[in-house]
Structure 1
Amino acid sequence: SPQDGESAFSDLPSTYVPFRNGVFLSIAAALAEKERCDAIFIGVVQEDSSGYPDCGAEFIGAFERALDLGTSRDFHPRIKTPLVHLSKAQIVSLALEIGVPLELTWSCYEREDAACGLCDSCLLRLKGFAGAGAKDKIPYALEA
């Protein structure tokens, strides 16, 4: 527990959403068990894991163990993380190569009309596009 006056979230980015990937995986696991799927895919990135505790390999492994304990005996899905060892630049390059409409994706936690360009998520996104040598086509407030 935190010391007096210290927040439990003080070492986390301002964009941290508590247990976000755990919630996503829980919903996906319920659907996967119902549909008898043997794999669940999630787009976590190791590059993010220092700031987001539910993006790292340790969390994913622990969640797989929880699924083994908390689901029917004959259901043992594996959690697949195909992007985990890619950089944001590599992910942007791959997405552009396979035709993902990145202009329909959103990363900003501060605004909905135009990305702020300043929050941790925007900075990671912009760094990824710059590293891929590509222009991000979503609107940014700083351009206005």
Structure 2
Amino acid sequence: MTVQENAPKAVILLSGGLDSSTVLAIAKAQGYACYCLSLDYHQRHNVELLAAQRVAKALGAQAHKTVQLDLSLFGGSALTDNAIAVPEYETQGIPVTYVPARNTIMLSLALAWAEVLQSRDIFIGVNALDYSGYPDCRGEYVSAFQQMANLATKAAVEGQTITVHAPLIDMTKAEIIRAGHALGLNYGLTVSCYQADSRGAACGVCDSCRFRKSGFVQAGLADPTRYRDAEKLI
């Protein structure tokens, strides 16, 4: 699908993982001119940023920017502090892979770019069903941020209401995968693993890998993910 010349602009938060890539495919299918924003926060799995570049290019994003912001200065998460191990088993409660305020930071950056672009739409791939217990992946959080955005920005005060779209919020991982597959998204371009190696090969045992693997099984589709253990057998 080609983008119409007068298509509305949208800022898409793109990590390079399965969910955010699906959101980009959905926004494009809805006719938006997509401006992708990634965050290099010194995450353990920073190979996902290369995946974000691949996905943005494959789906014809109008632009793709990566913001540098070192959240490892604060730590407090297995994704930003190498001294904290990524759990390789099912966890209870909010896991140590939760990055404090990450979605708030990313949405704030997306909001800033949206104002500059004169865009009224921001897309984020949060999901309240197949998620790891993160408090900033809930529908009420998205609604609260949208309300704040419409109080705090010049554009909104002047009548340009901003909408934060979370199209995956009530979908299972299998439903997300089916939706992306129907739109022709190549999930082989994406990286979801919290401890993927420098080539993007996944561990297969972290929360993110388990949700992803289960999603493909339940969707009845082949899993294109490269797993490290499988590569050892080659």
TM range (shorter): 0.7 to 0.9
Secondary structure in structure 2 of the residue aligned to 1:47: coil
Inter-CA distance 48–21: structure 2 relative to 1 (3 Å threshold): farther
Aligned residue number for residue 3 of structure 1: none
Taking structure 2 as the reference length, the TM-score comes to 0.54
Equivalent position to 2:221, from 131, 134, 141: 134
Aligned residue number for residue 97 of structure 1: 182
The sequence identity of aligned pairs, in percent, is: 41
Looking at structure 2, the residues matched to 51 and 22 of structure 1 have their Cα atoms a distance apart, in angstroms, of 16
Looking at structure 1, the residues matched to 184 and 118 of structure 2 have their Cα atoms a distance apart, in angstroms, of 30
Q: Between Structure 1 and Structure 2, which shows a larger proportion of strand residues?
A: 2
Looking at structure 2, the residues matched to 50 and 122 of structure 1 have their Cα atoms a distance apart, in angstroms, of 11
Taking only aligned residues, the RMSD between alpha carbons, in angstroms, comes to: 2.2
- 1:24-47 deviations in Å (ceiling 9; x for gaps): 211110111112212111111111
**Runs (5+) with no aligned partner, structure 1:** 1-6
Structure 1 stretches of 4+ with a deviation exceeding 6 A read: none
- 1:57-91 deviations in Å (ceiling 9; x for gaps): 11111111221222111242011111111110011
- Say how many residue pairs are matched: 138
Taking structure 1 as the reference length, the TM-score comes to 0.85
Aligned residue number for residue 84 of structure 1: 169
**Runs (5+) with no aligned partner, structure 2:** 1-75, 79-91
Aligned residue number for residue 56 of structure 1: 138
Aligned residue number for residue 121 of structure 1: 208
Aligned residue number for residue 4 of structure 1: none
Looking at structure 2, the residues matched to 23 and 104 of structure 1 have their Cα atoms a distance apart, in angstroms, of 25
Inter-CA distance 37–104: structure 2 relative to 1 (3 Å threshold): same
Aligned residue number for residue 13 of structure 1: 95
